Every structure is written in C-alpha cells, then in structure tokens.
A and B are shown apart, each in its own frame.
Chain A
C-alpha cells in the first residue's frame, strides 16, 4: 500500500489541453472518488495513473518515487474497467491468475491466491466457467477478483458499475465498499454518478474541465460546496438556484428580480454586494405558514417522500418533503428554508460567499 501524489499534472492532445494543471494527494489506504460530468478528464487522469496514457507535464508519485516513466506493468496498480475487459478465451480462474502466471509464480501459489480471492467474492463455483457464461454482476466480480489476486498497491476503478442495472449497482456498490474496508488498499474510483461518490468515498474530488472544483469528505461537499458547480453536482435532486439582489444596503435581506423575499441568516460578508445567487437544497425546504410564496406545478409522491415541482416568482424550484403533504397542482403554498441551510454564491465567479 502506498499514497499517490498528483503534482501539477497536465495532459494535452496536440493543441487541446484536457487537464490544464492538477495537484492533489491520495492518502495511503484512502478511497478517493473522482467525480464529474462526461469529458471532465477524470478517466484520463485514472488512465494516466495506470500508465495507459502518457502525462504531458508534472509528476505522478507513488510514495516518494516519481513514476512518470515507469511502464504500466511495473506500476503495481490493478485497474477494473467499465466493460470488465475479461479475457474471453480464459476461464474465470485463468483470468484471475493471469497476472501471477505472467510473473511466473508457482502453480500452487496462483491456485491458492485465486481460491482466496474467489472466496472473498463468492466466485468459488464459477472458477471453471468462461466469461460468456456469466451474468453482468458475476463478470464484475471476476474483474475485481483479477485485481485482488494481484494484491496491488493501488486499485483503480473506471466507472465499474455503469453497465449494471440499478438494483445490482446498489448491491455491488456496497460490496466494493466492504471490500475496501477489509483490504484497506488505496483506491481511486472514477464515476459520473454523484450518489456512488457520496456513498463510497472517504474523499471526493469533483472535477470539471480538467480542474479540481473541490475536494473533501462527502459531507463537507454537501454542506459547504465551494461553488455553484459543486453545489449543483452534489446532491439529488440538484440544489435550487435563484438570482437575488440585496434588498437593503448592508442587510442580509434578499429579493429575487420578481420581488420575492428570500429569508437568509445574518451574514456580514454580504456587505457591499448588490447581487448574489441564492442556493437551497430541495430537502431543506419545508411547508410553512409564511416564508417564500410558491405555486405547485407537479406533485410526485414516492412513498417515503414527496417531491414537489413549484414556481417561485415564475422560476422552477424543486422541493423534497419527508412527510406526506396534502397539496395539489395549482395550489399556492409557503416554503420555509431550514435555518442555516441557504447557500450564497457570487453570480459572476460562482464562488461561495457565505461564511
């Protein structure tokens, strides 16, 4: 096991810069999730770590050692691909033992390690099967087994659950997390699914256009998003954003351009500003007797919660209520933000401005 440092790493394809300059550290034994929209550079970064892509600048370090020029096969990192990339002409056991066979390990040791990994993943009865005779979930486990058998310093996962159905995805998510807790191997996991990121990560790195937007624990990102991008990306449904102006100079009272008042907690940093973006998570809005006036458009009861699509001064807002609500489309309601839950952002830079 080891820590991994990404220091001023850049990636260019000809004139196109995919990753301008990236720096962060993955601690020993940590489960780090790289999350971001398609094309944000997260998979490219993972492939650079694995040695499958060259880096155009900067340094990659394992521990204190720079590994920029170390070939993929000598990096001691095991990668699990989205499409599993199992060798179709090899049985499950051969797939899992392939890396050890290449290293010319004794037959007995290969068998022992394959059996051990198969036991961890519940693949014992499938060892003689070929990949074509396995289900999606089983293939995914074999791909993980192939990585475990190597006992690598770092695990790399490239959107490994994308090809599974929703139910299996939830199950495999828990299995991967449990596996990490058991093996404690440094893990870098790439996904575009923020739920996966929130549920699995020790640390989330939110990426956008090749840059790190914010890095931190899942709850840090949820509670204190650094900018509008992160605020909108983390959390489901996404945070509501409303443009607002400071109603009275040096006062925290806010109004939307349509004149709707938005209650906020006292905040001295608003001094001197005239315009802000007001952000509130759907689950942080409650029904009240007073507050923000809204009109119900759609009601979606899911059993455990009720999702309301409403308009506030003509702008769309989503509300998630934990309790059942007896409201109907067209009805006028009042929304009360939970205390301390509003987020304010600079409308130009998108950066967070509340303390």
Chain B
C-alpha cells in the first residue's frame, strides 16, 4: 500500500513538472526565438526546417545603429517614458491619497476616472491628432508625454488608491493631532508606507508607456518616434529584415524585462493588492 501511494505521488509530481516545463516552453520559446533572430542572418531565420544551430552574427544590431539610427528611437522612448512615469506618479500619488483618506465625495470622481480609462484609444486618436496639429505639437516629446500621462493617470490613481486604503485612517488623524499639515501627512507618514505600492505602479506605467504604439504612430513622424515604431521600418518592399527586427525587439524588450525583474517583489504586491490580507 505504502509503496503504491509513494509511486502515485512520484507520478503526480512528474506530471506536474512536465506540465510546468511545457508551459515554460510555450511562454519562453517565442521570446527566445526572437532573441535568436537578432543574432543570426535573415536566411537562417526563414530556412525550413528551422535551424537551431547557426553562425552567430551582430549584423542585425550593426544595421540598426549604422543604417536606421535606432539609438534615436531608444532615446525618444527613454525620454518620453521617464518623464511620463515621473509625472503620472507625481500627479496620481497625492490624488490617490486624497481619494482614499481626505475626500468624502470621491465616488463620482472615481467613476469618471474609470470611464476615462475605459474609452478605447483608437476612439480618441483622430481628435488627439487634430488637437496636436492645431497646437503645433505634432511630432514633439510633449505631445507624447501629455497623452501618455493622460492615459495612465486613471489606472495609476486606482491602483495607488488601493495601497493608500490599506493604511488605517487613524494614522492620518494621529499625525494631524501630532501637528502635521495634510501635505506632511502625505509625505512623512503615507508615502513611506505605500512606497512599495508606488514602485509597483511606476513599473506598470513604465511598461505601458514604453510599449505604447498607437499614439506614437499617430502623433510622431521623424523627430520623436519611439522604439516600437522603429519596427515598422523593417518591413520593406523587398521583404522583412528579420535580423534587424530581432535585434530591435531584443533591445526594446530588455529594459522592460530588466526593470520588471528588479521590481518583481513590488509587482506581485501590486497585483495581489486587496485579494490577500
């Protein structure tokens, strides 16, 4: 009996391990294939059957930086993303604090904020383009920053509000009684307590802005296009430049992956907020 139950347990363990291995393969294979694409010649990528053993090359990266000027796209992305994240967090944190602790009539505003988030980006694409044109802001950093901030603020407020709600309201009252102004309560008591949540929110916003494609496509042309747009250029009339596509995809995704990896702990905290006590 004991031996058979042990065998059963081992079999179950083995099946689970196999299941996770398959799942890991399903998730990791496309990314790995993409990274490999960046390090081989285009012909190796499209050869049938697929070639897993190949002669590595940096031709794709060389093409990126020497021919297409990819560094410009990366710099644009970095500037737009960093400025947007700072602004989103800077605006959302006090707003989320106020909605969680100060305002008694925040309900309607919260719904309004959510509605702003629900509207599909494509629905406001044309008006946004027209406004940017009228204001002579087409193809500028500020246009991209403004739209990214506007799109991400609702999400950031909602997420951060849940972090602030976790702080017991008597802490604010104790601080006020101790002599804090509302701003001091926010900076000296609340911010240190929700720092983890704030970083998690920053990671989500960073990923959102860094990957943003639609508004970058609508609002930029030659001066301020971001990295995701660079990919479009590799589809030419002569075919797709697979080595350059792979190299660019690798470079674009790396900061997101590194950033998310470093902030992993906070990300999990952000995603499980409210669901686990």
Residues of A within 8 A of B (CB): 47, 50-52, 72-73, 75, 77-79, 81-83, 85-89, 98-99, 102-103, 146, 150
Q: In the complex, what distance in Å separates the CA atom of A144 from the CA atom of B12?
A: 56
| Alpha-carbon separation in the docked complex, A97 to B225 (Å) | 52
28 pairs of residues in contact across A and B, judged by CB atoms under 8 Å: A50-B177, A52-B173, A52-B176, A73-B176, A73-B179, A73-B180, A73-B181, A79-B173, A81-B170, A82-B170, A85-B168, A85-B170, A85-B173, A85-B174, A86-B174, A87-B171, A87-B174, A89-B192, A89-B193, A98-B178, A99-B179, A102-B179, A102-B180, A102-B184, A103-B179, A146-B174, A146-B178, A150-B178
> DSSP class of A's interface residues: helix, strand, loop or mixed?
loop
CA distance A77 to B192 in the complex (A): 26
Contact indicator B180/A77 (Cβ below 8 Å): no
Q: Identify B193's interface contact among A52, A75, A79, A88, CB under 8 A.
A: A88
Known A-B contacts A85-B171, A89-B193; the reply to A79 vs B179 at CB < 8 A is: no
Tally of contacts, chain A with chain B, CB under 8 A: 54
Q: Which of B173, B184, B189, B192 is within 8 Å of A81, CB to CB?
A: B173
Q: In the complex, what's the smallest C-beta–C-beta distance from B199 to chain A, in angstroms?
A: 15
| A47: min CB distance to chain B, Å | 8
Q: A86-B174, A89-B192, A102-B180 are in contact. List 10 more A-B contacts (CB 8 A).
A: A47-B173, A50-B177, A73-B177, A73-B179, A73-B181, A83-B168, A85-B171, A98-B178, A99-B178, A146-B178
**Residue of B whose beta carbon sits closest to that of A77:** B177
Chain A residues closer than 8 Å to B181, beta-carbon distance: 73
Q: Contact string, B224-235, partner A, CB cutoff 8 A, digits 1/0?
A: 000000000000
CB-defined contacts of B173 to chain A, threshold 8 Å: 47, 50, 52, 72, 79, 81, 85
B175 on interface, CB distance cutoff 8 Å:
yes
| B176 adjacent to A72 (CB under 8 Å) | yes
The reply to whether A81 and B179 contact each other, CB–CB distance below 8 Å, is no
Contacts of B174 in A (CB 8 A): 79, 81, 85-87, 146
**Chain B, residue nearest A50 (CB):** B177
Which of B's residues lie within 8 Å of A, judged by CB? Answer: 168, 170-171, 173-181, 184, 189, 192-193
10 tightest CB-CB pairs across the interface, nearest first? A85-B174, A85-B170, A99-B178, A102-B179, A73-B179, A89-B192, A81-B170, A72-B176, A79-B177, A52-B173
Determine the main DSSP class of B at the interface with A: helix
A83: contacting residue among B170, B178, B184, B189, CB under 8 A: B170
Provide the bound-state CA to CA distance between A99 and B184, in Å. 12
**Which of B174, B176, B181 gathers most chain A CB within 10 Å?**
B174
**Contact residues in A for B184 (Cβ distance below 8 Å):** 102
In the complex the two chains form, what is the Cα distance from A81 to B177 in whole Å?
11
B177 touches A102 (CB 8 A): no
B126 to chain A, nearest CB (A): 45
A51: chain B residues within 8 A (beta carbon): 176-177
A109 to chain B, nearest CB (A): 15
Which residue from chain A places its CB closest to the CB of B104 in the assembled complex?
A: A13
Chain B nearest CB: distance from A14 CB in Å? 11
Q: Which residues of the partner chain B approach A86 to less than 8 Å between Cβ atoms?
A: 174
Residues of A within 8 A of B180 (CB): 73, 102
A82 to B170, CA, bound (A): 9
Q: Which residues of A contact B168 (CB under 8 A)?
A: 83, 85
User: Distance (Å) between the CB of B208 and the closest chain A CB?
Assistant: 29
B101, chain A: closest CB distance, angstroms: 12
Q: Which chain A residue has the least Cβ–Cβ distance from B181?
A: A73
In the complex the two chains form, what is the Cα distance from A285 to B162 in whole Å? 57
| Nearest Cβ on chain A to B184's Cβ, whole angstroms | 7
A99 to B185: give the CA distance in the assembly, Å. 12
- Docked CA distance A150–B174 (Å): 13
> Of all chain B residues, which has the CB nearest A52?
B173
**Contact residues in B for A102 (Cβ distance below 8 Å):** 178-180, 184
Which B-chain residue is minimally distant from A102 (CB atoms)? Answer: B179
- Choose from A79, A82, A87 the contact partner of B189 (Cβ within 8 Å): A87
Question: Could you say which residues of chain B place their CB within 8 Å of the CB of A73?
Answer: 176-181
CA distance A77 to B176 in the complex (A): 11
| A85 and B181 alpha carbons, distance in the complex (Å) | 17
Q: In the docked arrangement, what's the CA distance between A50 and B179, Å? A: 12
Q: For the complex, give the distance between the alpha carbons of A103 and B178 in Å.
A: 9
Nearest CB in chain A: distance from B65 CB, A = 46
Name the A residues within 8 Å of B170 (CB-CB). 81-83, 85
Residue of B nearest to A156 (CB): B177
In the bound assembly, the distance between CA atoms of A87 and B180 in angstroms comes to 13
B181 smallest CB distance to A (angstroms): 7
Rounded to whole Å, the gap between the CB of B50 and the closest CB of chain A is: 54
Measured CA separation A72–B170 after assembly (Å): 14
Contact check, B177 vs A52: say whether CB atoms are below 8 A apart: yes
By the criterion CB–CB under 8 Å, are A78 and B177 in contact? yes
Closest-by-CB residue of A relative to B173 is A52
What residues of A have a CB within 8 angstroms of the CB of B192 in the complex? 89
Whether B175 pairs with A87 at a CB distance below 8 angstroms is yes
B175 contacts across to A, CB distance below 8 A:
87, 98
Q: How far is the CA of A83 from the CA of B175 in the complex (A)?
A: 14
Give bound CA distance, A50 to B176, whole Å: 10
Q: Which residues of A contact B193 (CB under 8 A)?
A: 88-89
A248 to chain B, nearest CB (A): 59
**A87, B178: Cα distance in complex, Å:** 11
CA distance A236 to B173 in the complex (A): 34
